Amino acid sequence: MSSATPSRQTSARPAGFLASCIEQCFAGVRAIAFWAAALLPLLVLVALVTGVAGRYPSALTGSLAVNVVCAVIGHGHSPN
C-alpha cells in the first residue's frame, strides 16, 4: 500500500515555485526601473524647454530624485 504522507520532493516544489515567482517579480520591477531611468531625462528636458521646471522647481528636483532611484534599481537589467 502507498503511504499517505507526502514525499520530500513534493514539499520542495512549492518553495522553488515561490522563489521563481519572486525572482520574476523582481526582474519585472528591475526592467520597469531601467526603462523609467532611460526615459525620465526626456521628461526633464521637456520640462526645462517649456518652462515648467522654472515654475515648479520641486517637481524638477523630485523627478531627478526618481530618476536616480530608478537608475539604481534598474542597474542590473540587461535588455535582450
The pLDDT value given to residue 5: 56
Closest CA to 33 of 70, 77, 76, 66: 70
The pLDDT value given to residue 78: 82
The pLDDT value given to residue 14: 75
Q: How many CB atoms lie within 10 A of CB 34?
A: 19
Mean pLDDT of the chain: 85
The sign of the torsion formed by the CA atoms of 35, 37, 38, 39 equals positive
With 60 as the cut, is the pLDDT of residue 23 above it?
A: yes
Helix 8-50 vs helix 57-73: crossing angle, to nearest 10: 150
Q: Residue 50: CB partners within 8 Å, gap ≥ 6? A: none
Instruction: Read off the pLDDT of residues 32-65 as tens digits, 9 standing for 90 and up.
Output: 999 999 999 999 899 899 998 889 999 889 999 9
